[in-house]
Structure 1
Amino acid sequence: MGGYESEVPAEGDLIAAAQHIVAALGTKKMLSQDERKILVDLRTRLSTMTMVDDTKTNEPPVNGVSETEQYLNLVSERIMNRVSDETMIWDLGPEDACEYLKAVEEARILTEKLEGLCLNKDDEEVELLRKAHDVLQTAMARLEQEFGHIIVQHSQPFEPEHMSFRSSEGVGVVGSPCSLEDDPLEDSLRRESVGKNLEDFIVDLVHPDVIPDLKCIANLMFISSYERECSQAYVTARKHALNRCLFALEVEPLSIDDVLKMEWGSLDSQIKRWVWAIRIFVRGYLANEKRLTDEIFGDFGSLSSMCFTDSSKASVMQLLSFGDAVAVSPRQPEKLFRVLDMYEVLAQLHADINSMYTDQAIRDEFCEVLRRLGDAVRATFIEFKNAIATNASINPFAGGGTHHLTRYVMNYLKLLTDYRDTLNQILEEAERVESLSPLADSVPFWDEMKQFDGTCNATPMAFHFQSITSALLANIDEKSKLYKDTALQHFFLMNNIHYMAQKVKSCELRDIFGDDWIKRHNGKFQQQAMNYERATWSSILSLLKDDGSQNSGSNSSIKNILKERLKSFYAAFEEVYRNQTGWLIKDSQLQEDLRIKTSLQVIQAYRTFIGRHSSEISDKYIKYTADDLENHILDLFSGSQRSLSNIYRK
């Protein structure tokens, strides 16, 4: 301490200096803080030098008490006077704190000197050393208490909802997670970017003004071999702070049983909150917690790392426990997006955790939860395909439109494109691990994928997406068989295959499925449209064809044949109108195209028939003009059933 003895002064110079100090003190009524510190330091040095000299020269004690014991009693009295007062010393001000630290430092130096001098195991010296140890232990216990009090008293709240952060992109605000009322599918399962730039986010978790005091206490306790007590005080105080942070982030301590019992709506909200919170907790809070620990204990080697680990481990494990619970919960397709969100945020934070922790247990648990979430993603993805394949219907889908399953599956796949890199990584890693298993199929995954469709992008995601759409097509084909009307079967398949092709063509799915897939499925839906036209109109339009039967026989019989044909045509047309106005095509372009194509065939055949036989057919038997029929055809596929049975041309 002090550091002002670079040279040993002569005896006369020392006496002169001491006389000068005494004279200066005589003119002062108050001392500055620096002056008091120097004098206390001087007194410590004088006392220690006296003690050593006393021990070396073996001078007889005064009144039975050696100068060393007198000095120990003096130091003890100064310490005990503070310890007996319940008022926190550092709350009294810097001067009182400095005085106490000086007294503790004197006790430490005295104890060290006695330890070095008690080599002969003299009973009196051993007893004196024991007393010195007791004094130092009492002083350290109070320092431990003061240390914890300072941390708690000067901790600053962590308020993520309102904090600003510095990043390479400027100043931003850490926002709250998206509305917990949003639908997980329709809102595209918004993946919050909050916290992604928190690496440069700096907040003082303890007021910076008290950091020098904490470092000073920690240093004194460390060199006094009381680092364990100091670290315990720190860990206890910071554990509470970390728990308060999780409370502020609204992260509940949930067990696996709690998670398994949750309804999906509640669990969905909890996962959203967790994804948002863990990123802020790790990059916003833990990073600054590590900085605080290093500021205080950075000079003491591994102590800093140990304190950080011990104070934060429980909180980190609580967060990971929730991730683990979700990973082992039942596989349900609606969970996939949320599980992917959880996987992605942990993958993003993996490097942060490795850089902050040397503790292998935390690193291993982090990796294990990440692996389990990846397994859950793949298993849920497979379960989604199985759910499509086994989705059964008892009744045919009304109107033959695009089935809810088709819409759901294609929109589901579209939303998954946001996770393309993550899904490919998970699926590829899973297939790689399986390929190394002795139970793996003889055909490697990549060969099987190429055999499935050599034209698609060679990625695991593309393979699985095509596998899912194949399962969907098979299911839709089974559902089409519920219709008794063959035309409606083809109409239903046309609608659904067209929806699939258009969905892929119009969004990011195009890059995954490829143009060849779109071309093939366009061909499939066009084939179904052609099959529908044949099933609906072939027999009807055959009534208007000139097959030669109306050219034989008498004039009256020819007129009767033509009249019956026309009557049958009208009846069949009205039946189609009554049925197919109730059929539905939601896609306006497909609806218009099919109406126009139907109109061209029907109107051309009708006009030809009426024109060819205008002399044989009286106007009174012509129920509709060509324009009437054209307008009626424009009513088809609107999903609202109508009737023409009571409509006649005026």
Structure 2
Amino acid sequence: MEKNDHHPSEMSGSFSKNGNKNDDDPETLEAKSAGCQQQHAENEQAETVEVSPPSDPEPSLEQILNEVDRFLETTTINAGEDKLKLPDQAPDCVELLSNMVENMVNAYNAGKTNFGGDQDDSFLKAVNRISKLSKRFNELPSSSTLSSSLNRTSAALHRVMSFLEDKFRILLHEESKAINNQEHDRCLLHEPEPDKDEEELAEFSPETISDINKIASAMIFAGYENECSMVYSIARRTAFKAVLNKLGYEYISIDDVQRMQWESLEGEIASWINAVKQCSKKLFSDERKLCDSIFSDYPPLSRILFGDLAHPVVIQLLDFAQAVVLTKRSAEKLFKFLDINETLRDLVLAMDSDSYAEELISEASEAKTLLGSAVVSIFCDLENSIKSDQGRTPVPSGAVHPLTRYVMNYLKYACEYKDTLEQVFRQHLKIEKDEKETCDGGELDDVPTSETSPFSLELMKVMDLLDANLDMKSSLYRDHALRYIFLMNNGRYILQKMKGSTEIHELMGDTWRRKRSSLLRQYHKNYRRETWSKVLQCLSDEGLQVSGQGKVSKPVLKERFKNFNTLFEDIHKMQSTWVVSDEQLQSELRVSISAVMIPAYRSFLGRFKQYLDPGRQSEKYIKYQPEDIETLIEELFDGNPTSMARRRT
């Protein structure tokens, strides 16, 4: 029972028929009439001036409410008989209250009074009493003599509730209209629109929330919970949908998703991700706060209404994600799938059990798991792509193979999602373990810890497959030197990509990197041996001395210079067309070659040049000076054939 505005004792001498004085009571009227006749005679005798009796003032709302409260108190259920103790006729305050409430509604509707002012509290107090009277009268048997009072209060209550329902609906839409007007004004003033990523539901002022809260409480107390809930749900669903649309998200059926080209679907995925992120970070939490504020007196109802709003939105968002998963899988979809998975992860984290049904949280988690499995499947298809690349045509000039570029760039971008990939691979391994134990009762090893990340193991497996594939492709080159150039090019490309990606470096580790660097150095040594060992043999003094005479054999010396020139020119002609795209590797190779060739050639030339006759014979066999050799070495690995200009001494 609500606390009365005034104690019933303050109402002595009022208009009630419940034991209090009232000018309309028959006995009072009779006594009053007799008294008036005697007074009239006395007045005539005294020849006094006649005065009119004072009229009774209209009862105030507070008096009416107090009288209603007293009536409700005296009509409580008798605990022993379990029956209502009611008079045969309702007091006048019932009719007066009904009339007064309807007059207030008329004043609101006519614009004489604005809802949201000081008079609202009085109005809502009156509505509260009408609700209590209606409930009390509804407990009466159909044959009760108070049925007419029931009809009167029911009619008044229905009219009041219709008014409050309309006002409830208007207030719920009020802020949205204000926001729209602000956007219209912004367009007229050419002001920039707010960032779509900062879109939000209409923010209600504290005064508006207070008014809506009062109306909701009044309607629910009066038994109009269903009507109140329906108006609120429709208004907020409309508002929520409008915000999602402004974020660029609109519902797309599963069939439409299946028919869309991937390029178009990528745009829809971007809008979906933005919408879900906004829901996770702000929109749902704001909506829950609004619902709690409006239905602060009814927390269970607030939870139900928020759930009724959030459930279809979340299901619609999950349907889209699951529809994308059902599209044909391909390598280029991995990154969008990872984006969707991360978005669902954030959504699941934002869904606490106090605000969302466990079933809904479970569905979101299942959708995330489904996305994770799709991610694992797509990533593991990279293994098949490497295995199936069995082309028998070597890459010209020993350059980096397209497969190497594709795999390393793929891994570089994939490893930017390192944490997510570790999560999905770990979850996938756990699912496989559970399925294995369920199927045959066997047990797998424990799921790897973070130190032995299943994604790291998968990454190493991919790298091993790539190495094996490149080794096979290197064998396609007939020239062994070019084979090592190819392996160096690809090995350096892999190493540089690893150095440029902190994530790959963390996953593969320093041991793997050192092993890769050591392998590159071995390729370098092998190249130098295959290419320049025969040239260096020409610069050896072995076999130049005439046996037993201590003299240099000119024919042999001439043949040595001739062979050197031929070998060097052939190497230059061929290897200047080879490609070493990494500038550091190119420089390392040239420096390494010069370090071996220049000292050897300078020494050989310095020791044996004198044995050739000056003039044409010398020019014929000594075609290059050490500086020329150095210049020609600097032309190697540019990918452009260079003509060999004749160098003169």
Measured against the shorter chain, the TM-score band is 0.7 to 0.9
Is residue 2:39 matched to residue 1:39?
no
Which letter maps to 1:144?
Answer: E
Q: How does 1:382-531 map to 2 (within 5 A)?
A: 382-393=380-391, 395-438=393-436, 458-505=452-499, 507-508=501-502, 509-531=504-526
Alpha-carbon distance, 1:235 to partner: 0.4
**Matching residue of 2:171:** 150
**Matching residue of 1:58:** 88
Is residue 2:314 matched to residue 1:301?
no
Alpha-carbon distance, 1:400 to partner: 1.6
Alpha-carbon distance, 1:316 to partner: 2.4
**Matching residue of 2:28:** none
Q: How does 1:200-215 map to 2 (within 5 A)?
A: 205-215=203-213
Alpha-carbon distance, 1:236 to partner: 0.2
Is residue 2:133 matched to residue 1:110?
yes
Contact 1:279 1:345 in 2 (8 A): yes
Contact 1:156 1:204 in 2 (8 A): no
Which letter maps to 2:491?
Answer: I
Superimposed CA distance per residue, residues 353-379 of structure 1 (whole angstroms, 9 cap, x where no aligned partner): 125523233212211121112212212
**Matching residue of 1:563:** 558
Residue 257 of structure 2 aligns to a residue whose secondary structure is helix
Alpha-carbon distance, 1:45 to partner: 4.3
Residue 369 of structure 2 aligns to a residue whose secondary structure is helix
Judged with a 3 Å threshold, the aligned counterparts in structure 2 of structure 1 residues 311 and 599 are, in CA distance, closer, same or farther, namely: same
- More deviation, 531-540/305-314: 531-540
Q: How does 1:167-566 map to 2 (within 5 A)?
A: 205-355=203-353, 357-393=355-391, 395-438=393-436, 458-505=452-499, 507-508=501-502, 509-548=504-543, 551=546, 558-566=553-561
Alpha-carbon distance, 1:122 to partner: 0.9
Contact 2:8 2:70 in 1 (8 A): no
Q: Distance in 2 between matches of 1:649 and 1:279?
A: 74
- More deviation, 495-504/542-551: 542-551
Which letter maps to 2:207?
Answer: D
Contact 1:427 1:460 in 2 (8 A): yes
Residue 582 of structure 1 aligns to a residue whose secondary structure is coil
Larger Rg: 2
Contact 1:293 1:307 in 2 (8 A): yes
Alpha-carbon distance, 1:560 to partner: 3.8
Q: 1:610 aligns with which of 605, 610, 615?
A: 605
Contact 1:457 1:513 in 2 (8 A): no
Judged with a 3 Å threshold, the aligned counterparts in structure 2 of structure 1 residues 480 and 53 are, in CA distance, closer, same or farther, namely: closer
Alpha-carbon distance, 1:443 to partner: 10
Contact 2:102 2:160 in 1 (8 A): no
Superimposed CA distance per residue, residues 562-584 of structure 1 (whole angstroms, 9 cap, x where no aligned partner): 33442232222222212212222
Q: Distance in 2 between matches of 1:553 and 1:620?
A: 30
Judged with a 3 Å threshold, the aligned counterparts in structure 2 of structure 1 residues 157 and 276 are, in CA distance, closer, same or farther, namely: farther
- More deviation, 42-51/552-561: 552-561
Alpha-carbon distance, 1:101 to partner: 4.4
Alpha-carbon distance, 1:53 to partner: 9.1
Q: 1:576 aligns with which of 571, 574, 578?
A: 571
Residue 155 of structure 1 aligns to a residue whose secondary structure is helix
Identity of aligned residues (%): 30
Judged with a 3 Å threshold, the aligned counterparts in structure 2 of structure 1 residues 592 and 478 are, in CA distance, closer, same or farther, namely: same
Contact 2:325 2:374 in 1 (8 A): yes
Superimposed CA distance per residue, residues 535-565 of structure 1 (whole angstroms, 9 cap, x where no aligned partner): 2223333333345277469999953443344
Q: How does 1:70-149 map to 2 (within 5 A)?
A: 74=99, 78=103, 94=117, 101=124, 104-116=127-139, 118-119=140-141, 121-122=142-143, 125-126=146-147, 129=150, 132-149=153-170
Contact 2:98 2:156 in 1 (8 A): no
Residue 514 of structure 1 aligns to a residue whose secondary structure is helix
Contact 1:88 1:146 in 2 (8 A): no
Judged with a 3 Å threshold, the aligned counterparts in structure 2 of structure 1 residues 609 and 53 are, in CA distance, closer, same or farther, namely: closer
**Matching residue of 2:618:** 619
Residue 302 of structure 1 aligns to a residue whose secondary structure is helix
Superimposed CA distance per residue, residues 111-130 of structure 1 (whole angstroms, 9 cap, x where no aligned partner): 123224x23x3165456535
Q: Distance in 2 between matches of 1:462 and 1:414?
A: 13
Contact 2:544 2:552 in 1 (8 A): no
Q: Distance in 1 between matches of 2:479 and 2:495?
A: 25
Contact 1:205 1:289 in 2 (8 A): no
Q: Distance in 2 between matches of 1:303 and 1:88?
A: 33
**Is there any run of 5+ residues in structure 1 with no aligned partner, and where?**
20-24, 29-35, 163-172, 178-193, 196-201, 451-455
Residue 144 of structure 1 aligns to a residue whose secondary structure is helix
Which letter maps to 1:614?
Answer: K
Contact 2:625 2:647 in 1 (8 A): no
- More deviation, 632-641/611-620: 611-620
Alpha-carbon distance, 1:458 to partner: 2.2
Contact 1:332 1:380 in 2 (8 A): yes
Judged with a 3 Å threshold, the aligned counterparts in structure 2 of structure 1 residues 315 and 50 are, in CA distance, closer, same or farther, namely: closer
Alpha-carbon distance, 1:296 to partner: 0.9
Alpha-carbon distance, 1:224 to partner: 1.4
Superimposed CA distance per residue, residues 223-254 of structure 1 (whole angstroms, 9 cap, x where no aligned partner): 11211110110000000110111012112322
Superimposed CA distance per residue, residues 130-158 of structure 1 (whole angstroms, 9 cap, x where no aligned partner): 56445534432342232112101233778
The two structures have a TM-score, normalised by structure 1, of 0.78
Q: Distance in 1 between matches of 2:551 and 2:260?
A: 81
Contact 1:353 1:363 in 2 (8 A): yes
**Matching residue of 1:628:** 628
Judged with a 3 Å threshold, the aligned counterparts in structure 2 of structure 1 residues 480 and 90 are, in CA distance, closer, same or farther, namely: farther
Contact 1:41 1:102 in 2 (8 A): no
- More deviation, 597-606/543-552: 543-552
Q: Distance in 2 between matches of 1:48 and 1:10?
A: 11
Alpha-carbon distance, 1:98 to partner: 6.2
Contact 1:497 1:525 in 2 (8 A): yes
Judged with a 3 Å threshold, the aligned counterparts in structure 2 of structure 1 residues 465 and 375 are, in CA distance, closer, same or farther, namely: same
Contact 1:89 1:96 in 2 (8 A): no
Is residue 2:638 matched to residue 1:638?
yes
**Matching residue of 1:185:** none
Superimposed CA distance per residue, residues 427-474 of structure 1 (whole angstroms, 9 cap, x where no aligned partner): 122112212333799995679x99xxxxx9522222111111111112
Name the Cα RMSD after superposition.
4.3
Judged with a 3 Å threshold, the aligned counterparts in structure 2 of structure 1 residues 57 and 299 are, in CA distance, closer, same or farther, namely: closer
Residue 251 of structure 1 aligns to a residue whose secondary structure is coil
The two structures have a TM-score, normalised by structure 2, of 0.78
Q: Distance in 2 between matches of 1:10 and 1:612?
A: 137
Alpha-carbon distance, 1:639 to partner: 2.4
Which letter maps to 1:626?
Answer: P
Alpha-carbon distance, 1:632 to partner: 0.4
Contact 1:414 1:507 in 2 (8 A): yes
Q: Distance in 2 between matches of 1:108 and 1:234?
A: 21
**Matching residue of 2:82:** none
- More deviation, 238-247/541-550: 541-550
